[in-house]
């Protein structure tokens, strides 16, 4: 295979409301798709409670393990908004009030007094970078390789889209086929294909009760010709007539 | 507070298809709700790739950390179905072919020959328990505190519902209020309530662009009278007229 530009990522979703089943996390599915589109390999998503020691330990682990880390949630004005403190602790930094953010927050009030809870939103891990962009109202806080994003889905999306151009790795090339055959009968051909193409990302996804197909098979690689050759190889092995359609 | 029966849990979602944005995980949102209903505290959800060492390390960590662990995905006949091996490795056990499962699998074939890939679905970590139930077609494999469930959502749900009566802890009691006030203005009252009721689970969830309310506040405890008293206390602190509605 050719040398490829790789970048990997982890997502930390901070929120009791997801663990307790009150809310469904839509931020990680959104980000998974977006990252794939720009060739970034998402390695882990974790959902953790609003607990300082858990946030700090998890973020520290992800920070060391992955090229890029995104956190979602816990950055508002209330008692359960402890992500900034958690990230600071993960990086062994202090929490400081950022003058640029404080000015921005005071500006929104048009001279009305600011309370402590409100100004807490100007806190950052010491030495953090602010990423401003014409399209977003409030800068995104970045500490080391950690992008700290809000949990509210609209703002999460808006903020990521403003950051998106920063992330770029070689794209994945995907080919898909759908077959009427049972998964257990084609497993041998999948294994044989992997034997020939060991670096292939090969997925096999059975679907229950679909009139059209029984298994969806995905072949991926960052090397277009590699995935094309693997696809042709697999097609040549599969029983005549079992492939319903192909994509890519 | 009264003594309460507690049980905590972690969910391990095994699947490249979720990390690569091809599929959205619906199993963990389903299970989060179900567990909450029976009073079980979900502490962690993690999505990991189909990689043996990652599965083994993650399952081992969850096995040690939580009372109950659920895995989702990776138990079919193909090359990427390595959950059984991962769980076995996490528990330092061998993988063995289970005679009961093998007989069941052969039975489905009505005398037609079984291939290796197909029979792989009879593998279990050594010493695993089989949980059969009239309503499910194939027994669920349990090793120590780990319930190994399939990724296909229909079957995942069916299998969990057949297991559900095994899990029971004291229920959470939830009260909710919706307010038109900004979150930063009521943060002080939330903090004061937590000062009085330190064991309260208190959530604050702002909503953008909703004509009805700005923040949803949830109060929870396994002690009904504790949550009732905290709720009354918080209501007495909030500015007149800012509460739009209450639930619970």
| Domain shared by A149 and A185, yes or no | no
DSSP assigned state of B139: P
Residue B1 in domain: no
How much of chain A exceeds pLDDT 70, in percent?
Answer: 99
Spell out the alpha helix ranges (H) of chain A. 16-19, 27-37, 52-65, 83-90, 99-108, 116-119, 153-163, 183-196, 224-237
Among B19, B44, B77, select the one facing A48 at the smallest CB separation: B44
Angstroms from B128 CA to nearest CA on chain A: 23
A190 and A85 share one domain? no
SS3 A44: strand
**pLDDT at residue number B3:** 65
**pLDDT (tens digit per residue) in A56-99:** 999 999 999 999 999 999 999 998 899 999 999 999 999 999 99
Q: How far is CA A246 from CA A111, A149, A231, B51, B195, in A?
A: 61, 37, 10, 27, 60
Mean pLDDT to the nearest integer, A139-150: 97
Q: How many CB atoms lie within 10 A of CB B110?
A: 6
What are the residues facing B131 on neighbouring strands? B140
| Closest CB to A115 among B35, B44, B184 | B184
| Domain end (from A166, A195, A223) | A166
| Residue in B215, B193, B197 with CA at minimum distance from that of residue B206 | B215
Q: How far is B92 from chain A (nearest CA, A)?
A: 24
List the CATH number of the domain containing B177.
3.30.70.100
Which tokens hold the place of A194? 């992997």
Query: Do residue B185 and residue B213 come from a single domain?
Result: yes
**What CATH number does the domain containing B71 carry?**
3.40.980.10
Among A177, A248, A185, A190, CA closest to A217: A177
A2 inside domain: no
Q: What is the DSSP letter of A208?
A: T
Whether pTM > 0.90 for this model: the answer is yes
Strands A140-143 and A129-131: antiparallel
ipTM: 0.94
Closest residue, chain A, to B38 (C-alpha): A20
For residues A56 and A177, membership in a common domain is answered with no
At residue B2, the pLDDT reads: 52
Please check whether residue B14 lies inside any domain of the structure: yes
Whether residues B184 and B155 fall in one domain: no
Q: Give the best residue of A34, A113, A114, A203 to mutate against chain B (max B CB count within 10 A).
A: A203
Q: % helix / strand / coil in chain B, to the nearest 5?
A: 40, 25, 35
Enumerate the β-bridge partners of residue B42.
B9
- The pLDDT value given to residue B205: 92
- What token pair was written down for A197? 């193409």
Using pLDDT thresholds of 50, 70 and 90, give the confidence band for residue B5. confident
| β strands within A49-145, DSSP E | 68-72, 95-97, 123-125, 129-131, 140-143
Asked if residue B55 and residue B106 are part of one domain, the reply reads yes
Specify whether A142 is located in the same domain as A243.
no
| Structure confidence at residue A3 as a pLDDT band (50, 70, 90) | low
In which residue are the tokens 């072949």 written? A219
Q: Would the pLDDT of B1 be above 60?
A: no
Strand partners, A45: A11, B47
Note whether residue B3 is domain-resident. Answer: no
Residue A134: pLDDT over 80: no
Indicate whether B172 pLDDT > 80. yes
For range B136-154, the mean pLDDT:
94
Q: What's the mean pLDDT in A163-168?
A: 92
Q: Are residues B102 and B225 in the same domain?
A: no
Domain end point (choices B116, B141, B166): B166
Q: Same structural domain for residues A33 and A90?
A: yes
A20 contacts in chain B (CB < 8 Å):
32, 36, 42, 172, 220
Report the residue of chain B nearest A50, measured CA to CA.
Answer: B203
| A3 belongs to a structural domain | no
Residue of chain A nearest B193, judged by CA positions: A79
Which helix H or strand E contains A175, and what residues bound it? Answer: strand A173-179
Q: Which domain holds residue A62?
A: 8-166
β-strands A146-149, A173-179 pairing: unpaired
Answer whether B47 sits within 8 Å of A49, measured CB to CB.
no
Average pLDDT over residues B48-52: 97
Contact A49 B43 (CB under 8 A): yes
How does residue A172 score in pLDDT terms, banded at 50, 70 and 90?
A: very high
What was the pLDDT predicted at B32?
Answer: 98
Taking residues B171-195, report their average pLDDT.
94
B91 falls within a domain = yes
Distances B71 to A96, B63, B82, B94 between C-alpha atoms, Å: 40, 11, 12, 18
Whether residues B37 and B103 fall in one domain:
yes
Residue of A nearest to B14 (CA): A44
In chain A, what residues touch B185 (CB-CB under 8 Å)? 115, 117-118
- Mean pLDDT to the nearest integer, B181-207: 93
Last residue within a domain, chosen from B134, B150, B166:
B166
Same domain, A194 and A213: yes
- The structural domain count of chain A equals 2
The mean pLDDT of A221-236, rounded to a whole number, is: 96
Q: Are residues A151 and A183 in the same domain?
A: no
The confidence score (pLDDT) of residue B60 equals: 98
Contact of B28 with B45, CB cutoff 8 Å: yes
Compute the half-sphere exposure of residue A200: CA atoms within 13 Å on the CB side of its CA. Answer: 30
Q: How confident is the model at residue A230 (pLDDT cuts 50, 70, 90)?
A: very high
The pLDDT value recorded for residue A136 is: 77
| Model confidence band, residue B133 (pLDDT cutoffs 50, 70, 90) | confident
- Asked if A178 contacts A167 with a C-beta cutoff of 8 angstroms, the reply is no
Domain membership flag for residue A1? no
Contacts of B156 in chain A (CB under 8 A): none
Give start and end residues of each alpha helix (H) in chain B.
16-19, 27-37, 52-65, 83-90, 99-108, 116-119, 153-163, 183-196, 224-237
């Amino acid at each position: 295979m050719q040398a490829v530009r790789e970048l990997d990522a982890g997502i930390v979703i901070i929120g009791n409301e997801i663990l307790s089943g009150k809310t469904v996390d839509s931020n990680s599915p959104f980000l998974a798709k977006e990252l794939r589109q720009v060739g970034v390999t998402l390695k882990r998503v974790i959902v953790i409670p609003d607990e300082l020691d858990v946030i700090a330990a998890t973020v520290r682990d992800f920070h060391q393990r992955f090229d890029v880390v995104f956190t979602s949630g816990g950055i508002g004005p209330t008692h359960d908004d402890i992500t900034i403190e958690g990230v600071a602790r993960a990086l062994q930094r202090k929490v400081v009030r950022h003058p640029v953010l404080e000015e921005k927050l005071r500006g929104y009030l048009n001279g009305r007094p600011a309370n402590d809870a409100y100004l807490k939103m100007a806190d950052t891990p010491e030495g953090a970078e602010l990423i401003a962009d014409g399209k977003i109202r409030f800068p995104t806080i970045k500490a080391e390789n950690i992008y700290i994003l809000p949990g509210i889905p609209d703002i999460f999306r808006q903020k990521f889209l403003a950051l998106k151009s920063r992330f770029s790795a070689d794209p994945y090339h995907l080919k898909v086929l759908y077959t009427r055959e049972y998964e257990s009968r084609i497993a041998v051909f999948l294994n044989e294909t992997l034997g020939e193409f060991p670096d292939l990302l090969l997925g096999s996804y059975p679907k229950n009760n679909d009139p059209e197909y029984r298994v969806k098979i995905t072949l991926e690689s960052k090397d277009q010709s590699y995935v094309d050759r693997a696809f042709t190889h697999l097609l040549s092995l599969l029983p005549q007539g079992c492939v319903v359609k192909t994509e890519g």
